[in-house]
Amino acid sequence: MLVMALTRSLVSKPFNKWKDALETFEKHARTKYHLNSEIAAKMFLDIYDCKQADVSELLSQKVKTDAERNRKIISTIVETLIFNGRQEIPLRGHRDSGRITVEEPTNNDGNFRALLRLQARAGDSLLNEHINSGRGNAMYISPTVQNELLSLIGKQIQENVLERIKKAKFFTVLGDKTTDISYVEQFSLCVRYVDIDLIDIREDFLTFVPVYDVTGAGIASTIKTELLKLGLEMTNLRGQGYDGAGAMSGHLNGVQAIIRKDCPKALYTHCSSHVLNLCLNYAAKTDVIRNCFFTISEVASFFRGSAQRTKILKEGLEVAGILNSVVHNYNDTRWVERHDCVAVFSESFLSIVQALELLIERRQGDLTAKIKAIGLHSNLCSFEFIVTLLVMSKML
């Protein structure tokens, strides 16, 4: 009641009891109302004299600080995604949903989360704070957000490639069909052009295009539509590179023939890698080469079929100073894998022969395996096999 009386006599009503002025003023100076008013007055004068920013500026500064903080967090997340993509590391784990923590989880939650956790524990205080106290609806690490960010990154890369192509003006289309995991036919669209800034020939991937009409006309229409959608003019098309399938290379109804009706300067070239693959496949059909590949495959299966035999071979390879080399089978349709197979086998040839001899000389062991080792040793040491192996190592 005393405070209210003092407030009324000095604020809402005039003060006229001057004989009690000193005592009244001292009591009023100690009231909360007066103290708050002094603080407010000081803040007003500071703002008026530009010694302190006003409330709107303080709020604006807070918004700016929060925005910069969020940008740094998003940048860290994006850089982690780019790192995974550049190193061809998968993102997802066995359990990659729910809130992330700095502590190691019981189940593997994927490389993406593990990298974020590593950065947070290694000294990124901002990311650490975000993981520990960030809002659940603004963590930016869910699979949905990952896919959205990857899509934006891919779009940015595509725009950079298109900018270089447009600067070069003329380009060549390279493409091939493949089937994805959902059994949808996809056409991989690539472009060959000259990088004007580096004066270098580049071949860059642009996009995957779903194809539902696999005829020459259907694929040609898909290519033209996609190029126009990407902003590339068909009048600047100067080349086409596909495989030798009839739908692609046919001189009447093939993709290359249909596109050349609109773009006569777009010359067709049979893909060199496909040609080389066909040549090597045909060469591999000769008896001596086919037998050589069959023997290599049999040797690989023989050693892989037993942990003990594998150990003997690895010990022989280590003695010879050949590390991280394992005899393996090859893929019938990919000549690159045939080359790797033959190169590894040629390098390990002496160690393989010695491992077979050790298995043959052993007094104990599986009799069937010993007989198999004798047969393989005989094949490997034949003049025909050795010459064929050397020829193939050079040819592939």
pLDDT (tens digit per residue) in 375-391: 999 999 999 999 988 88
pLDDT tens column, 56-80 = 665 677 777 888 888 999 999 999 9
pTM score, whole prediction: 0.63
pLDDT tens column, 241-287 = 998 888 888 888 899 999 999 899 999 998 887 787 777 777 777 88
Residues 287 and 246 in one domain: no
Residues 322 and 254 in one domain: no
Residue 148 inside a domain? The answer is no
pLDDT of 228 higher than 90: yes
Residues 287 and 389 in one domain: yes
Determine the structural domain holding residue 220 and report its residue range.
167-270
**Biggest distance spanned by C-alpha atoms of the chain:** 131
Residue 155 inside a domain? The answer is no
Residues 259 and 286 in one domain: no
Residue 81's pLDDT band (cuts 50, 70, 90) = very high
Residue 9 inside a domain? The answer is yes
Residues 391 and 286 in one domain: yes
Residue 390 inside a domain? The answer is yes
Amino acid at 308: Q
Residue 288 inside a domain? The answer is yes
Q: Let me know how many helices (H) and strands (E) the chain has, helices first.
A: 17, 5
Residue 275 inside a domain? The answer is no
- Beta partners for 204? 191
How many domains, the chain? 4
377 and 360 Cβ atoms separated by less than 8 Å: yes
Residues 325 and 390 in one domain: yes
* Distance separating alpha carbons of residues 65 and 382, to the nearest angstrom: 77
Residue 55's pLDDT band (cuts 50, 70, 90) = low
Q: Percentage of residues in the chain with pLDDT exceeding 90?
A: 31
- Comparing 180 with 74, the larger pLDDT belongs to 74
Q: What is the CATH number of the domain that holds 189?
A: 3.30.420.40
Residue 53 inside a domain? The answer is no
Structure-token match 């860059």, residue found:
204
SS3 call for 256: helix
